[in-house]
Copies of this chain bind each other. A is one copy, B any other.
Amino acid sequence: MRDFEVALKAAGDPTRTRVLKLLESGELCVCQIQGILGLAPSTVSKHLAVLKAAGFVDDRREGKWIYYTLAPASRNPHVLGVRALLGGPLDRDRTILGDRRRLRALLRVPLAEICDLISARTLARPLTRRPPAERRS
């Protein structure tokens, strides 16, 4: 049951769902993912660690960059099934489509220049917030 919980909680966070959908296009390095999500590098790293611990992704170091990819096989028996769920109505989701569009643009930029773009906040756009102004005071 623990594996089931871990798999569903890993994929059930909207940010991590976006990452999994991004990785369907092939392996990406952290800074590319960060550029699309528009989050702090430490935050992105943590999400990737959660996905890795759950068995969704593998990482691979290449020089300064670390590439993440969807794990072709997982020791968590539930991961495969959860991955299958990602192929449904999610492919028509606005955020997912926007991420894919920005990914296409980003893939045209040489890797070495991406992090400069990130700091300029050119491509990053935050996830549409659910309660836009509902803050308690």
Contact = CB atoms under 8 A, between A and B. Distances in A.
Copies of this chain, count? 2
Contacts of A77: 88-89
Interface residues of A, number: 27
Interface of A: 1-5, 7-9, 11-14, 17-18, 77-78, 81-82, 84-85, 88-90, 93, 95-96, 130
27 contacts: A1-B14, A1-B17, A1-B18, A1-B90, A1-B95, A1-B96, A2-B14, A4-B12, A4-B17, A4-B85, A4-B89, A5-B12, A5-B13, A7-B12, A8-B8, A8-B11, A8-B12, A8-B82, A8-B85, A9-B12, A12-B12, A77-B88, A77-B89, A81-B84, A81-B85, A81-B88, A82-B85
